[in-house]
Amino acid sequence: MLEPHSWSLGSTRRSTFGRTWRSPPRWCGGTKTRGSARRRPSSGLDQPRVFTFTEGDETIAASRLAESLGSLNISSPLLLVGTHGKTLASGIDDALDSRPVSEGANQDWSSALGSAARRGGADAIVAIGGGRTLDVGKLAAARAGIAIVSVPTQLSHDGICSPIAVVPDHEGRPESVGAIMPAALFLSMPTLLGAPEASLRAGLGDLLANPYALRDWKLAAERGLEDTDDRSWDLSVQAYELVQDIIENANLGARLEILPRLADGLVLSGMAMIHAHSSRPASGGEHEISHAIDELYGGRALHGEQVAFGCIISAALYGDDVAELRGRLRAIGLPSAPSDLGLDEDDLVRVVLHAPDTRPGRFTVLEHSDLDEAGARALIKDAFADG
């Protein structure tokens, strides 16, 4: 069954799957109150169309994807296909070209792909795959000035519909760059059900960042460095609250129940970024920690898994209950200690000190704390006192 729908940008407190919001947990400090932070009024926003295919198998989903492209008046797409996207791509007969995404795909590769799409007369890029495939596709579409259709094969992070792309620069360092909002998002539940459980955990980890990112945003606003945005803030809160009880109860068994809520949350989080014209509502100091791990040690886990670990550092700096947070992460199977990422104390000290350099101009609790080496080491010893 193909279910096209749009996510509401209003002030509703119910998700598209009918769940009522609850209060943020004490261990992440809460996100409801913006206090005296400067706020700007919300405005209208274009929304991506979202198609959800829930019945049958991937072969049927592939034909439904082709039908969805037709309903969007996309007739000459360039396909960008990741490792697990071949079946879904097989139903698109009128593609101008189909390209695999190489491990070395970077910003230059994305620009070249955009140029090829423009020269070939493509009217859209359809990116089918994991995070790297979608991010490269978004950046290529932005460079080509054409639409992007996002077809994730796993729900590992909120980039599935955000206008931000994390793509390595020419030196191989991951960099967050402005790209383009997907015109549409196609969710094939048969495909997503077959994704590794690690990707599901990573998606939860990426949404766990939202409460901390919002607190960092408020911190910057209180310093007069930028304004928060009501609508973006609310969307980010709603995104996290959709999966809050999954994180609290460590209930990953019922995939058919979890995946729609995770998808909903990741879409709402992406739309918060779309509305803010920034990754601010979903990316703070915890993402800087993940970026620093990438830059210093080449990445040790999926993006969302590293972000969840980064939340421990943010929580410690905010004075939250770190032991409870670490227990939640451990129960889900997310990294809860440096050793889970193959890091030791000295490695993590380097990460904490380098993290602010990964996002120049972004003010978070890391920049606010302005730790030196001794301060970083003391923080880490306290946060990970039990190993």
Which two three-digit tokens encode residue 32?
A: 């409801």
Please, what is the average pLDDT of the chain?
Answer: 88
Inform me whether the pLDDT recorded for 308 exceeds 60: yes
Q: Picking from 15-24, 83-92, 165-174, 370-379, which range would have the lowest pLDDT averaged per residue?
A: 15-24
* Residue-level pLDDT at 29: 52
Q: What is the pLDDT of residues 36-74, one digit of tens each?
A: 455 544 444 567 899 999 888 999 999 999 999 999 999
**CATH architecture of the domain with range 49-193:** 3-Layer(aba) Sandwich (3.40)
Which two three-digit tokens encode residue 274?
A: 């779309």
In the 8-state DSSP scheme, what is residue 300? S
Give CA 370 to chain center in angstroms: 26
Which two three-digit tokens encode residue 302?
A: 């999926």
**What is the C-alpha separation between 94 and 126, in angstroms, rounded?**
12
One-letter-per-residue 3-state SS of 39-96? EECCCCCCCCEEEEECCCCHHHHHHHHHHHHHHCCCCCEEEEECCCCHHHHCCCCCCC
Which two three-digit tokens encode residue 353?
A: 């000190």
Residue 295 is inside which H or E element, if any? helix 285-297
**What is the C-alpha separation between 226 and 215, in angstroms, rounded?**
13
Confidence class for position 247, pLDDT limits 50, 70, 90 = very high
Which two three-digit tokens encode residue 6?
A: 């749009």
Measured from the Cβ of residue 103, the count of other Cβ atoms closer than 10 Å reads 5
* Residue-level pLDDT at 46: 67
Fold of 196-387: Dehydroquinate synthase-like, alpha domain (1.20.1090)
* Residue-level pLDDT at 39: 52
Cβ(159)–Cβ(182) under 8 Å? no
Q: What angle do CA 387, 322, 227 make, to 5 degrees?
A: 135
Measured from the Cβ of residue 254, the count of other Cβ atoms closer than 10 Å reads 9
pTM, rounded to two decimals: 0.87
Residue of 292, 287, 288, 320 lying closest to 304 (CA atoms):
287
Q: What is the pLDDT of residues 248-296, one digit of tens each?
A: 988 777 888 899 999 999 999 999 999 999 999 999 999 999 999 999 9
* Residue-level pLDDT at 95: 86
Which two three-digit tokens encode residue 46?
A: 């274009």
Domains 49-193 and 196-387 share a fold: no
Measured from the Cβ of residue 47, the count of other Cβ atoms closer than 10 Å reads 17
Q: What is the pLDDT of residues 344-372, one digit of tens each?
A: 999 999 999 999 999 999 999 999 999 99
In 3-state terms, the chain is what percent helix, strand and coil (to 5)? Answer: 50, 15, 35
**What is the C-alpha separation between 318 and 320, in angstroms, rounded?**
6
Average pLDDT over residues 26-43: 48
User: Residue 5 burial (CB < 10 Å; 0-12/13-18/19+)?
Assistant: exposed
Inform me whether the pLDDT recorded for 102 exceeds 80: no
Q: Taking the domains of the chain in order of start, what are their residue ranges?
A: 49-193, 196-387
Residues written for the chain: 387
In this predicted model, which residue has the larger pLDDT, 8 or 130? 130
Q: Which residues contact 73 (CB under 8 A, 6 or more apart)?
A: none
Q: Which residues contact 257 (CB under 8 A, 6 or more apart)?
A: none
Measured from the Cβ of residue 249, the count of other Cβ atoms closer than 10 Å reads 11
Residue of 260, 258, 247, 263 lying closest to 209 (CA atoms):
247
* Residue-level pLDDT at 253: 74
**What is the C-alpha separation between 384 and 377, in angstroms, rounded?**
11
Residue of 237, 233, 257 lying closest to 40 (CA atoms):
233
CA within 13 Å, CB half, 344: 1
- Residues of the chain with pLDDT > 90: what percent? 76
